[in-house]
Structures are given as structure tokens and as C-alpha cells.
């Protein structure tokens, strides 16, 4: 939330959509009495992120011409 400037509700909504698409896995638990949420990319999520980066590089490379 600090890095994106999004509210907790917005982050939660985005993460739910990513989880529904099987791009991330969300595990909720506790450390002692404090809640902890661990979010990790799935194999599918990593593949899609690589495609996204490739597309963004191509887009920005095209701007240089």
C-alpha cells in the first residue's frame, strides 16, 4: 500500500482479481497474535508477468523510433 498509494480496499480488490485469475496465491495466518498475509506469484502468474514485461519493453522501444 505504501509503494502504490492505494487504499487497503483497492489493494484487496486487485489482489482478489489476481487470485481469481490464478496469478497469485494468498495465504493468511498469524505470527503470535498479529495477522500476516503472504502473497506469492504462481507459475502462471510468473509467465504472465514475463509476457507483460516483454510487451512493455516493446512498447517503450517503439517510442524511441
- Residue 62: predicted pLDDT: 82
- Residue 1: predicted pLDDT: 82
Q: What residue segments make up the domains of the chain, in order of their start?
A: 8-63
- Classify domain 8-63 at the CATH class level: mainly alpha
Grid cell 497474535 — which residue? 33
pLDDT digits (tens, 9 = 90+) for 1-57: 888 899 999 999 999 999 999 999 999 999 999 999 999 999 999 999 999 999 999
**24-31 and 34-41: which strand pairing?**
antiparallel
- Residue 49: predicted pLDDT: 97
For 38-44, which contacts have Cβ atoms below 8 Å and span 24 or more sequence positions? 39/15
Return the SS3 of 48: helix
- Residue 65: predicted pLDDT: 63
Amino acid at each position: 500500500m505504501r509503494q502504490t498509494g492505494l487504499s487497503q480496499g483497492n489493494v484487496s480488490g486487485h489482489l482478489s482479481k489476481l487470485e481469481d485469475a490464478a496469478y497469485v496465491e494468498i495465504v493468511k495466518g498469524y505470527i503470535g497474535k498479529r495477522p500476516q498475509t503472504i502473497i506469492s506469484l504462481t507459475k502462471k502468474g510468473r509467465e504472465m508477468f514475463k509476457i507483460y514485461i516483454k510487451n512493455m519493453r516493446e512498447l517503450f522501444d517503439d517510442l524511441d523510433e
